[in-house]
Structure 1
Amino acid sequence: MHMSYWFGNNVNNLLFKDFTLTTATGLIVTCFALCALGILLEVIKVHQASLIQKNIDENEHCRSHRCSSETDSLIPIDAEVERRSARNKLRLILMLKKTFLYGLQIVLSYILMLCVMTYNGYFTIAVALGASVGYLVCGPYLLEAIVKNTEFMRPKKECRTCL
């Protein structure tokens, strides 16, 4: 195992035992794959931020009980119970999606980290290039989602649709 950066196409035991690269073609294909994984990692981050924004948008309307009036029934009617049940199912599905994407992001991050830790210069360049291209393509969407998510932290406005 190399203890400093090196440039070569003879890589032994990359991620798995007996996954050995000995040809330039294998090295190039692996570098393209690492570049694609870097891009995919950035796409996953943007998709996670958009799911968070979607969750915020769904919960934006009337998160308090201020919208209920004195004439509302204290016992919820069946339609309201069904609406809450459907809303809870959607929240569960959204949470499962976010959890799956987070796990996938962690796994991809560790795979890319382990490839960089081989100290192969080509792998490091491929990972950095992939992450950079992914950020170049997806960065504006990620920044937009972050700004929208931080706007959610501002003081709440009164709900005018229920008054």
Structure 2
Amino acid sequence: MDHSSMDHTGHVHRAATLTPTLTTHDGHGGTTDGTSGGHEGHMGMVMTFYFGYQNVELLFSGLIINSAGEMVLACLGVFLLAALYEGLKIGREVLLRRNQVNVRYNSMPVPGNDGTVLMETHKTVGQRMLSPAHFLQTLLHILQVVLSYVLMLVFMTYNGFLCIAVALGAGAGYFLFSWKKAIVVDITEHCH
């Protein structure tokens, strides 16, 4: 089949537009190629870490950081959000433990040695699906999932300041709240 009479200019143009361009950040929110780093106009998502505070979109198109003071406030908010997330995780564990202390005793018949029927009592620990405690756990779980995705999206801005704020907030939250966490030690474990 002869393709020499076909017009291939559209194919060349499309291939040229798919070629990625290399841009690097200059540390002030701009790039070395003169553009703003893809932060405005949704021209593209920045896929490298940078430490800028000009034209940084934070979660919403209208929430744009343009000064060092705004970046400090954003980092403080992200730090507190990450600490709250860690506190929520530990708080849910504490509530779950507190609600599972509800011990119920069930009796069941067991055949005895001499043909008689004995009643044996067993402890069961749990919570009911339609209990208020389970509804509260479900709502807190939804909140925890939403917070985790918000923090992930903040980290995905690839802004170094915001990423550090997420990490430090998570560390501070763990430090403040993890001491309430139950530690289970297996005394039969002999491997060191």
- Do Structure 1 and Structure 2 share a fold, with TM-score over 0.5? yes
- Cα distance, 1:18 vs structure 2: 1.6
Q: Where in structure 1 do 4 or more consecutive aligned residues deviate above 2 Å?
A: none
Deviation at 1:13, TM superposition (A): 2.9
For 1:53, the equivalent position in structure 2 comes to: 97
Residues 67-106 of structure 1: matches in 2 within 5 Å? 92-106=131-145
1:51, CA displacement in angstroms? 1.5
1:34 aligns with 2:73: no
The equivalent position to 2:107 in structure 1, one of 65, 71, 74, is: 65
Structure 1 Cα separation of the partners of residues 107 and 54 of structure 2: 65
Task: Tell me whether 1:122 sits opposite 2:161 in the alignment.
Answer: yes
Native 8 Å contact 2:128 2:134 kept in 1: no
Aligned residues: 126
Identity of aligned residues (%): 34
The answer to whether the Cα contact below 8 Å between 1:12 and 1:18 also exists between their aligned partners in 2 is no
The whole-number CA distance in structure 1 between the counterparts of 2:140 and 2:162 is: 24
Classify the secondary structure of the residue corresponding to 1:9.
coil
Question: How far off is 1:50 after superposition?
Answer: 1.0
Residue 19 of structure 1 aligns to a residue in which SS? strand
CA offset digits 1:109-132 (Å, max 9, x no partner): 000000000100001100000000
In 2, Cα distance between the equivalents of 1:9 and 1:135? 28
Q: Is the 8 A contact 1:9 1:21 kept in 2?
A: yes
Superposition deviation, residue 48 in structure 1: 0.6
Q: Distance in 2 between matches of 1:20 and 1:12?
A: 5
Rg: which structure is higher?
Answer: 2
- Where relative contact order (Cα < 8 A, 6+ residues apart) is larger, the structure is 1
Higher strand share: 2
Point out the structure with the larger helix share: 1
Q: Does the 8 Å contact 1:46/1:141 carry over to 2?
A: yes
2:162 aligned partner, one-letter code: F
Compute the displacement of 1:61 (Å): 3.7
Query: What's 1:147 paired with?
Result: 184
Cα distance, 1:88 vs structure 2: 6.4
Partners of 2:184 and 2:55 lie apart in 1 by 43
